[in-house]
Amino acid sequence: MEVNTNLESQPEQVISKKMSLYKAIWRWHFYGGMIFAPILILLAITGSIYLFKPYVEPMLDPDLHYVEKGSKELTPSLQLKAVRDKYPVDAITSFTNVKDPERATEVGIAKGDVSYTVFVNPYTGKVLGELQNDKRLMEIIVKLHGEVMVGKIGDHLVELSASWAIILLATGLYLYFPRNKQTFLDVIRIRIGKGSRIFWRDLHASTGFWMTIILLVLVLSGLPWASSFGERLNTFVAKVNLSNAPEHLWDGSIQSTKVTKEVAKTPWAAENIPVPESVYSNKGMLPIENVIKIAEETNIHPGYTINMPEGDTGVYLISSYGFAAGSVKNYVTMDIDQYSGKVLLDYRWKDYSPFDKTVETGIALHEGRYFGVANLIIDLIACLSLILIVFSGITMWWKRRPKGKIGIPKASEGNKFYLGVLLISVICGLLMPMVGISIFLIGLIEFIVKLIKQKVRRPGLE
């Protein structure tokens, strides 16, 4: 990127301050881009693949997912019996009927601590096979996207990278914004024939400019999943009462030892809701057909998953969300007493607070399923654009750097810059703690290096 020098009409002191600020922002833009480039590319690649989850998974294992349509389906109980006969010592954890006449029923089982999905022909009861959940392609993609396959540390690294992406977009807009005698047209066009450095600079800046809003939406909508930011967000939601979850779940009138996310995959808005307990009865557990009847009578969208009761006080937990729900308006989290069939919780989109709806809408946009194929295509373009932005930025740096040197933009003079870094790190620390810490550490390293250089330059110390 080239620094604008067409400032003749402005006082020298003003020019100096503007150039100092410009160089400082350029330097931090450079730091963030180079440090987090690999993670941002990984997020873009894995994100673009995950968009196609509902299309890719059946294609990878068609013999498991697809069946020939028959005249009549077996009852769910008979389908579950077929699974129990095949896996007698393993626990059945869930039942999903995708409501496609040519698709297999999906039954979740647990072999010790390992989860599997078993595929059953709903017409014949034949067990078609099984897949270990954590080894399925899309589960691996999700782990790469969310934690770089290294657990908690990776989760923090992804959160830090995503947060820095916001800073990179903001600083990039500042560096790219028309100034002096430039017009808007000057900054949105890609100049061809002006040399490779100019071309890559324009490609980097123009792509970032046009995709800023979409990329910001994708980044911000993904942060609720991050451990640090997500935990702070949940704490904030609880403190200021931004959720409309039924109050009786917290007033002591029900017994609960778990929250929903520990039992099943549910919408974000329902993850931290306590799971009620069933009142034990020696009559035995209701057959799954009764649960399906309740789901149908209460108009739950087909494709939901029934999570089986855990122990004597566990509940049937019906979850409709994500791709299977078809729309955020079809989201449902329902807890049913396993003995009496009493609905203990029925929490739906219509019950969500405006805040919860905003977060859930953002997540749906993030996964490319809020407004159909168009949403998917826009997200895909955004992912590819992010890859192009990072690649063009690295190429631009490589071409402009002095031979044999890293080519870091020059630092600003004076200590006001470092006071600014301290202030920014405090502000960011309140909203995004990890970003605040990273800014402070980089600024501290810069300040120490500057002091060392100043001492080395003094006469008699060389």
Instruction: Give the model's confidence band at 19: pLDDT under 50 very low, under 70 low, under 90 confident, else very high.
Output: low
Report which secondary-structure segment, H or E, holds 108: strand 105-111
Higher pLDDT residue, 367 or 239? 367
The answer to whether residue 6 scores a pLDDT higher than 70 is no
Angle at 253 between CA 248 and CA 256, to 5 degrees: 90
Q: How far apart, in whole angstroms, are the C-alpha atoms of residue 27 and residue 408?
A: 7
Q: Which residues pair with 33 in a beta bridge?
A: none
The answer to whether residue 293 scores a pLDDT higher than 50 is yes
36-41 average pLDDT score: 96
Instruction: Give the model's confidence band at 371: pLDDT under 50 very low, under 70 low, under 90 confident, else very high.
Output: very high
Q: Which amino acid is at 421?
A: V
Q: How far apart, in whole angstroms, are the C-alpha atoms of residue 104 and residue 67?
A: 6
Residue 9 is predicted with a pLDDT of 46
86-92 average pLDDT score: 92
Residue 430 is predicted with a pLDDT of 74
Instruction: Give the model's confidence band at 408: pLDDT under 50 very low, under 70 low, under 90 confident, else very high.
Output: confident
Higher pLDDT residue, 195 or 59? 59
Nearest CA among 101, 136, 144 for reference residue 117 = 136
Q: How far apart, in whole angstroms, are the C-alpha atoms of residue 318 and residue 136?
A: 23
Q: What percent of the chain has pLDDT over 70?
A: 88
The listed range with the strongest mean pLDDT (3-17, 38-52, 145-159, 422-436) is: 38-52
Instruction: Give the model's confidence band at 149: pLDDT under 50 very low, under 70 low, under 90 confident, else very high.
Output: confident
Lowest model confidence (mean pLDDT) among 209-223, 341-355, 442-456: 442-456
Residue 24 is predicted with a pLDDT of 80
Q: Which CATH architecture has domain 54-141?
A: Roll (3.10)
Lowest model confidence (mean pLDDT) among 170-184, 264-278, 328-342: 170-184
Contacts of 234 by beta carbon, 8 Å cutoff, 6+ apart: 272
Residue 445 is predicted with a pLDDT of 79
Output phi, psi for 162, to 5 deg: -65, -40
Return the domain boundaries, the chain: 54-141, 244-352
Instruction: Give the model's confidence band at 117: pLDDT under 50 very low, under 70 low, under 90 confident, else very high.
Output: very high
Nearest CA among 100, 254, 226 for reference residue 154 = 226
pLDDT, averaged across the chain: 87
Cα-Cα-Cα-Cα torsion 239, 241, 242, 245, nearest 10 degrees, comes to 120
Contacts of 217 by beta carbon, 8 Å cutoff, 6+ apart: 362, 365, 366
SS (H, E, C) 373-411: HHHHHHHHHHHHHHHHHHHHHHHHHHHHCCCCCCCCCCC
Q: At what angle do helices 433-457 and 151-176 cross, to 10 degrees?
A: 70
75-82 average pLDDT score: 97
User: Where are any strands of DSSP class E within 312-384?
Assistant: 315-320, 332-337, 343-348
The CB density around residue 329, as the number of other CB atoms within 10 Å, is: 12
User: Hey, CA dihedral for 223, 227, 228, 232, is it positive or negative?
Assistant: positive
Residue 461 is predicted with a pLDDT of 44
- The β-bridge relationship of strands 332-337 and 315-320 is antiparallel
CA atoms within 13 A on the CB side of 315: 30
Digit-coded pLDDT (tens) for 182-210: 666 766 778 888 888 889 999 999 999 99
- What 3-state DSSP class applies to 343? strand
Residue 372 is predicted with a pLDDT of 92
Residue 1 is predicted with a pLDDT of 42
Q: How far apart, in whole angstroms, are the C-alpha atoms of residue 100 and residue 302?
A: 9
Q: Buried (b) or exposed (e) across 4-29, using 16+ Cβ within 10 A?
A: eeebeeeeeeeeeeeebebbbbbbbb
Instruction: Give the model's confidence band at 17: pLDDT under 50 very low, under 70 low, under 90 confident, else very high.
Output: low
88-103 average pLDDT score: 92
163-177 average pLDDT score: 90
Helix, strand, coil percent content, the chain, rounded in steps of 5: 55, 10, 30
83-100 average pLDDT score: 92
156-185 average pLDDT score: 84
Q: At what angle do helices 137-147 and 151-176 cross, to 10 degrees?
A: 60
Q: Which amino acid is at 228?
A: S
Digit-coded pLDDT (tens) for 379-394: 999 999 999 999 999 9
The answer to whether residue 459 scores a pLDDT higher than 60 is no
Residue 343 is predicted with a pLDDT of 95
Angle at 170 between CA 159 and CA 143, to 5 degrees: 20
The answer to whether residue 92 scores a pLDDT higher than 80 is yes
Burial of 198 (0-12, 13-18, 19+ CB in 10 A): middle
Nearest CA among 92, 26, 106, 27 for reference residue 446 = 27
Instruction: Give the model's confidence band at 16: pLDDT under 50 very low, under 70 low, under 90 confident, else very high.
Output: low
The listed range with the strongest mean pLDDT (36-40, 175-179, 194-198) is: 36-40
The listed range with the strongest mean pLDDT (247-261, 295-309, 440-454) is: 295-309
Q: How far apart, in whole angstroms, are the C-alpha atoms of residue 316 and residue 99?
A: 20
DSSP 8-state secondary structure symbol assigned to residue 428: H
